[in-house]
Structure 1
């Protein structure tokens, strides 16, 4: 009897996973429905959010065999993450079934995918804007009814072009948020400063920061700034390279 194996396809852009079971070269139904709940999370499944229990449920779907081959279709980066996750799972004393991964096929790198999608979006915007300009070249455009129709259509094109541009910009936003919490004087500020490589937050043995702070890298076209939001009143200080100091930019005087 040939050994069964599991095929897993994980698409990080779509945020979905698909499992297929094969035995003797033929696809077999996955019993128990334990993996179906993950496949039903289309648009929300992120591989890196799951831990050992995820792999245990995979093993249970195969009647808790002692070893299982997993053939994977995903990006190179996500496969490398999966290998590390399985290495940790396989060394867990509670693990009853060892899972061995193999990269069956490699999906395009996410950066490449984003570039292609962004290029397609930019081309779509160019086409929309070209059609918009042609609207006002129509003969008898001065007729009120035709002019109103053209203006309404042009406004719709503007809105669609704006939506496409916003989606392109959102794809370029690779910001990852990290939240640091802890008791007073535990060293949160010192840890954050160490990670950043800059002494941004004040450090003392006694409680010093004692407030909620959000630190993020400014976009290329923006200056380094400190923003205070107290009782919905916004105050902004910007770094002036010439004076080598923070300057008042916005807020109550």
Structure 2
């Protein structure tokens, strides 16, 4: 299949798992509708209306991203959170993003968000230098291998209450496999070599890898039981009848 700009969209082989926060209405609602999630650039690649007005994170100056420049629909929620929220906190605004609460971030939360925002910016800046064809962490979907190691890895990252959904990758612009170890190592000790190892695809522990796949494309649920559980227990943002 060809994208609107002529890019060839290809399936990526394998069975994977995607972690879903059942308290986050956006992925729960989108998955409940079609069993699919899409990266922003993939939507623009196949939808003419989006294509005509979309600007990819990949084509946006790092300085604009660092200043919290909003690009409608260009970030995935993680990217938006750690970039825009970190900028907001640096500007002295500690208010949470919530339609139902005016609560503020605690100092501890603000410190963590600011730190992770800086980490994500460092990884994106270096990606453009050493792996420009790789998927951006700011606008991708994350999956892990559907095996014991992959599932354990996601639970350690996202919490043991996360809902793991079996998925495939039917079509993608690009998929990049990286070892999360290097991201975590840099978060603890900002050694630039760790970023290079991450983007090179180097594995830290061959016997127990911590692979994550950055998907600039579509993921599709292949998990009837998991989808039934999500529809029953996940919150959603759909309008309710009066």
- TM-score, length basis structure 2: 0.23
Structure ID, larger Rg: 1
Structure possessing the higher relative contact order (Cα contacts under 8 Å, 6 or more residues apart):
2
